[in-house]
Amino acid sequence: MDLLLALLSALLVLLGGVSVDASIHTYDLEPFKEVGNAFLLSGGSEGIVASVRSSYIKFDNVTFWRSKEAAEQHSSMEHSTGLIQAIIFEAADRDNIGGSAYGGQRSICCTPDLAKLEGCKQGEVIRRPSSVDLNWPVVLSTHFSANDLFANLDPQQVHISKTGMYNLFFISCDPKLRGLMMSGKTIWKNPGGYLPGRMAPLMTFYVFMSLAYLLLSVIWFVQYIRFWRDILTIQNWITLVIALGLFEMTLWYFEYLNFNSTGVRPVGITTWVVTVGAIRKTISSLLILSISMGYGVVRPTLGGLKSKVLLLGVTYFLASELLDIAENVGTINDISGKARLFLVLPDAFLHAFLILWIFTSLSRTLEKLQTRRSSVKLDIYRKFTNSLAVAVIASVSWIGYEVYFKATDPFSERWQSAWIITAFWHILAFSLLAVICYLWAPSQSSQRYAYSGEAADDDDEEAQSLNKSSPDGDVGLVKLDKDRNLDPTTAFSLEDEAEEDKQE
């Protein structure tokens, strides 16, 4: 990839966080950056669906500001000074911006030598017509008048007649305009509204996810109310996760609906939606971990592990919240910023640690159930383990696909299918929740899984093994002593009844 494209891509990513409210990109005295032999400012990048009448990029009150020193450098005799150009091009036509390699790099602006080689006009952006439409890329120009400190770009509307990923750059080739800044806004419109092309399918997706959570909640709450006298603590937490999932999907839909209809994406509303999502993911993860430890089925409490689980929950919430804020709050461009890369690492590390802890705990729980010959509970936990294994394999495979997808599409030209990346994780979370609801559904025998007292001491055993506070021999002696004092008729007599109830 040549240097110019790398520079353009890097700058677009870095400036993807330009002060924006929504698909209405606002610029509040944003500074131009020096890139190669040009001063450049990214105006945005979005996928737009073709529609001559309703798809467009509109310039509104765009004003360029230069320093007093820059104005004084231009001759007062000149009527027009300091050329500034706005360039709109589709990602597929990116090679049509810039000229041949000169001085070891590809130039954005036309130099005296390139004027002879390319036939371009010195002091302007090098632009070659698209093979599909000779009018593209679109170049809009304005000048400073005499020694004025500001210049306005005429309000105009560029209609989009071809579906694609469109980029907007403001460029000045005048070396005297160092320190140039810009204010104003541009309005990007798709046929269906103001949502960027990559986000538009997600609004429909959140409708279906809301309906899916609603159906699950109805089925669950019917059972919950029917057997409310026999509800376990773990089932209360499942209820909370279902409610949070429904609330989150509904909030995302209305957030996108408001964004699409008004063109404004308030930071406060998006932050609130993201926070609900982070809480839902945190409680879901801790629920899976707690179930894996046998909480509510094999042990009545988490005992000495409670503080560690809560610490993991707080850390997980913070990592998830920061990552989601970076991805969603104030985001409208269809190319994500570099800040996300730094936030993905701690989030990925916590996920790996959580998965390791979950399967370690599951192994211990399955071993205990096998030792006690708890056939009903063992069958449930085996199904749960298989479901988790499938979920982990699917997650790892999808992460590999996501890396491949983004690595092979640096300019987001496959933006129309990019929404699937986000949708997959919601579908996976819902599927795993549905499995948990099926395995631990409220029933008249629910309380029979809340054994009498066989696990009151087991939580301390796992806590000791994690803390390594006692020698292995001591733990074995303690366990042996517990087994001697355990009354099998008290601990397991209800389990056979539970199995019979299930068969009935």
Instruction: Specify the CATH class of 200-451 in words.
Output: mainly alpha
Calpha distance 414→47 (Å, rounded): 9
Query: Per-residue pLDDT tens for 295-329?
Result: 767 776 777 778 888 999 999 999 889 888 888 87
Calpha distance 314→321 (Å, rounded): 10
Q: What is the pLDDT of residue 114?
A: 78
Q: What is the pLDDT of residue 446?
A: 61
146: region left, alpha or beta (phi > 0 left; psi from -120 to 50 alpha): left
Calpha distance 350→373 (Å, rounded): 34
Q: What is the pLDDT of residue 282?
A: 95
Please give the structure tokens belonging to residue 373.
């010959």
Expressed in percent and rounded to 5, the helix, strand and coil fractions of the chain are 55, 20, 25
Burial track 84-119 (b if 16+ CB lie within 10 A, e otherwise): bbbbbbbbbbbebbbbeeeeeebbbbbbeebbeebe
- Is residue 85 within 8 Å of 141, Cβ to Cβ? yes
Within 276-412, strands assigned E span none
Say if residue 495's pLDDT is above 80.
no
| pLDDT band (50, 70, 90) for residue 461 | very low
Closest to 174 (Cα-Cα) out of 34, 1, 312: 34
Say if residue 455's pLDDT is above 60.
no
| Least-confidence region, from 227-236, 430-439, 482-491 | 482-491
Calpha distance 416→423 (Å, rounded): 13
Calpha distance 455→439 (Å, rounded): 21
Query: Per-residue pLDDT tens for 131-168?
Result: 888 889 999 999 888 778 888 998 889 999 889 899 99
| Least-confidence region, from 24-28, 363-367, 388-392, 457-461 | 457-461
Report the amino acid identity of residue 92. Answer: A
Calpha distance 396→399 (Å, rounded): 5
Domain map (residue ranges) of the chain: 3-189, 200-451
Half-sphere exposure of 196 (CA within 13 A, CB side): 30
